[in-house]
Amino acid sequence: MDFVVPHDHPCLPGHFPGRPVVPGVVVLDHVLQAVEAAHGPRAAMRLPQVKFVQPLLPGQTASVTLDGAGPRWRFRVQRADELLVSGELVAEAAP
């Protein structure tokens, strides 16, 4: 799943003045959206392992890749061939 955080996104003012960087929580929200888009709604999700390698800047296109079968996935967020974030996500099925 590809996504872009626009320059006018409300998360950006103050993060950081003069050189805005997309907050990690916004990137991780896109990971959660990718899981739900591919596998349906989840009642609860946790991220036992996350590693931020490079920042995502506003206006850049990033891609979420999921590997594995639910309820546990490995994920990668990349900008072209450059790794930005990797980790593991564990989900419970929705009631």
- Checking if the pLDDT of 88 tops 80, the result is yes
Residue 36: CATH number of its domain: 3.10.129.10
pTM above 0.75, yes or no: yes
Supply the pLDDT for residue 41.
Answer: 86
Catalytic residue among 7, 9, 15, 30: 15
Asked if residue 55 lies in contact with residue 84, where contact means CB atoms within 8 angstroms, the answer is yes
The count of domains in the chain is: 1
- Nearest CA to 79 among 95, 94, 64? 64
CA distances, 4 to each of 11, 42, 74, 78 (Å) = 13, 23, 21, 12
CA dihedral 10, 28, 82, 61 (to 10 degrees): -40
Alpha carbons 40 and 61: distance in angstroms, whole number:
24
pLDDT, tens digit, 9 for 90 and up, residues 15-38: 888 899 999 999 999 999 999 999
- Residue-range definition of the domain harbouring residue 9: 2-93
- Checking if the pLDDT of 94 tops 70, the result is no
**Whether residue 7 lies in the annotated active site:** no
